[in-house]
Structure formats: C-alpha cells, structure tokens
Amino acid sequence: MPVIEIEGLTKQYRRRRAVTHAVAGLNLSVPDGGVYGFLGPNGSGKTTTIRCLLGLARPTSGRISVLGAEVGRDLSTVISRIGSIVETPALFPAFSGRRNLELLGAIDGIGPRAVAAALERVGLESRGEDRVRTYSLGMRQRLGLAAALLKDPELLILDEPVNGLDPGGIREFRELIRSLGAEGRTVFVSSHLLSEVQLMCDRVAILARGALITEGSVAEVLALGHTAGLVVRVSKPDRAVEILAQAGIAASHDGEIVRVQLGADEAARVTEVLASGGLFLSELRADEVDLETVFVELTEGRTVEGS
C-alpha cells in the first residue's frame, strides 16, 4: 500500500481578485520505504502540496491519504507516525533546543531520553541547552530534523531540509536521510537541489506549475533526458556544424563545444567526417546526462511567470 496517495489535488489561493493555482491536479503515489524526492523549481507548489499533506492547508479539491488515513478526516490517527519539517522549521526562539523538543514530545508522551537521542542524532547535543534564538540557520534546521525524528516516525515529510546548510552539513544530512530510508522508513523530501536528490533518492517526482511532469526511479527519470549524444571539441565549432550537416548529421554548437546527436557507437563516423572536412578533434566524449539537465529540460518555460 502506498504511504502517500494524492489524487487530483488542486489548491488555489485567493488574494483579493487574483487567484494563484499553487497546485493544479496533482496525482502522486509514494511507495513504502526509501527516499522519495519531490523536485520542482521555485513556486512549483512543493510546499503547498506538503501543507496539504499535513492538514495545514485545505485542498480546493482532491483526495489525500497518508499512511492509509484520509487527511481531511483522520490525520490525527496517524500523526504520531509522521515527522515533518515545513519550510524553515519554527521553534520557540526564547527556549533552549532541548526544552523545545521536550515540550513537543510531551504532547505525545515522549520523554527526555528520546529528546537526548534525537539531539545526538543531529549533532546538537552540545548546544541543546542554548536558546534557539542563538542558533545559526543550519542549527535550526538540525533542530527541526531532531523534532521530526523525535516520534521515531515511519514517514518523514521534509520540505527543503538542506536549506541553509554548508557543504559539510549537506553531506551529513544526505547521509542521515539515506540511512533513515535504509532503516525502512519512508522519507518524502522536497528540494530544488537536484544533485542532492540524485545522490540520496530512490525515486523522484518532478513538479512544475503545480502539476506532475514525471515520476519514477532516478534511473528512469534520467533516461527521459535528451538522447545521450557526443560532445566534440574543435577549433572552429560553427564550421564543424556545417560540415556535419552536409553529411546529414544533426549537431549544434555551444561555445567551443559541438553536440552531435549520435550515439557513442558512431564516434568513428563523426571523426571521419570532420577530418575529411579539414577539422581535427581536440576532444571527443559521450555527453553525460544528469538529473539537472533533465530537470531543466522538463521544466523549461514552466516556472511560474511573475505574478
């Protein structure tokens, strides 16, 4: 059974006369276990979707179930199995990190021992007694994750959890999230840091303008990228494109680089055509596709236009 199931979710915000379609007919099904990446450019509706998932915002239409519970109706029956961070985690600035966690834990009858364990897991044990006001953004982010982990949840819903972390912190977080997924938990993590998603997720969904563009395992989504071609470096790239075109080979240039839309098995033919036209290659390699490229291609022109 999917852990998260979203059917036909729409969410409109009405402000004065303007209506924003933050989410527009989203369907999504997140399987049990592992790390699920929820990708999309700024304003594509990730946070809004997560707010709807957690019952913070009321969907305009659509159905959402989380851990088998209908969100609008009986989210409270499963909330003790869900840990979450929405945007920048908000805690009481005048209280220490530990007191914040203790107050939250007390709602669910979670004691100080679990609080200490959660602080340790995110590497905040030495700053637990300090007021949250004195924390850096990254430390707040960690404290937010500690709060999410406090319930020992089956499902973690994390909205951009690496925001504000330094590279070392990002690496640590990635490892932590991967290990949480490997423990059999489901981690639903939104991000626009594509390289991160590629490194830590098992599956990804890509969102643009409130609707799903594609969904699948990381490998499947990567395969949607432009057909892997060849990258050629020559001294006169524009001339190279001409020569290739005369030979019936589609190519384009991008600075010094010429992209040839042929598989790696045709490298010899490209070399031959260019050489016969008097151009000699300084480099020839297969064009790599990463999630970033796929992402940009898929969401191109679909970022939210200025409102």
Partner 1 sequence: MIGLVRVEWRRLTARRLVRVCAIAAIALIFFVVVLTALNSQKIQSDGSFVMRTTSLWLTEAQAETSGNAQDNAVIAVTSLSFLIVAVIGASAIGAEYRAGTVTTVLGWEPRRVRLLAARLIAVALVAASFYLIVHVVFCAAWTIGSVVSGNPDGASGVFWRDLGLVLARGAVLAAVFAVISAAIATLGRNTAAALGVWVGYWILVEGIVLGLKPQWVRWTLFVNIASVLEWNHLMIESPSVTIAVSPGASVVRLTAYVAVFVAVSLAVFHRRDVT
Interface characters, 70-99, with partner 1 (x: CB under 8 A): -----xx--x--xxx-xxxxxxxxxx---x
Look-up of token digits 């499902």 = 155
Nearer to ligand ATP, 161 or 237 (CB): 161
129-148 residues in contact with partner 1 (CB under 8 A) are 147-148
Among 64, 104, 205, 274, binds partner 1 (CB under 8 A): 104
User: If you ran DSSP here, which 8-state letter would residue 301 be given?
Assistant: T
Question: Of Mg ion, ligand ATP, partner 1, none, which one does residue 58 interact with (CB within 5 to 8 Å by kind)?
Answer: partner 1
Question: Of Mg ion, partner 1, ligand ATP, none, which one does residue 79 interact with (CB within 5 to 8 Å by kind)?
Answer: partner 1
Please give the size of the binding site for Mg ion, defined by CB under 5 A.
2
CB atoms within 10 A of CB 87: 14
CA 40/CA 32 separation, integer angstroms? 22
DSSP per-residue codes, 81-147? GEEEE-SS----TTSBHHHHHHHHHHHTT--HHHHHHHHHHTT-GGGTTSBGGG--HHHHHHHHHHH
54 touching partner 1, by CB under 8 A: yes
Shortest spacing between CB 47 and Mg ion, in angstroms: 3
Which residues are near ligand ATP by CB under 6 A? 13, 15, 20, 22, 40, 42-48, 192, 304
126-131 contacts, C-beta under 8 A, 24 or more apart: 127/97, 128/96, 128/97, 128/98, 129/96, 129/97, 129/98, 130/96, 130/97, 131/93, 131/94, 131/95, 131/96
Question: Of Mg ion, ligand ATP, partner 1, none, which one does residue 56 interact with (CB within 5 to 8 Å by kind)?
Answer: partner 1
24-53 residues in contact with Mg ion (CB under 5 A) are 46-47
Shortest spacing between CB 86 and partner 1, in angstroms: 5
Shortest spacing between CB 155 and partner 1, in angstroms: 12
Look-up of token digits 């957690």 = 54
Question: Of ligand ATP, partner 1, Mg ion, none, which one does residue 198 interact with (CB within 5 to 8 Å by kind)?
Answer: none
Look-up of token digits 């790239």 = 237
Question: Of Mg ion, ligand ATP, partner 1, none, which one does residue 137 interact with (CB within 5 to 8 Å by kind)?
Answer: none
Is-contact 10 59, C-beta < 8 A? Answer: yes
Q: Are strands 18-30 and 34-39 parallel, antiparallel or unpaired?
A: unpaired
Stretch that binds partner 1, among 47-55, 180-188, 265-273, 297-305 (CB under 8 A): 47-55
Within its chain, how far is the Cα of 24 from the centroid? Answer: 19
Residues 6+ apart with CB under 8 A from 32: 1, 2, 3, 186
56 touching partner 1, by CB under 8 A: yes
Nearer to ligand ATP, 26 or 234 (CB): 26
Nearest CA-CA partner of 146 in 102, 101, 90, 201: 101
51 touching partner 1, by CB under 8 A: yes
Nearer to Mg ion, 47 or 186 (CB): 47
Give, rounded to a whole angstrom, the gap between the first and last alpha carbons of the chain.
Answer: 39
Nearer to partner 1, 57 or 298 (CB): 57
Under the rule (CB under 8 A), what is the footprint of partner 1?
Answer: 51, 54-58, 75-76, 79, 82-84, 86-95, 99, 103-104, 106-109, 147-148
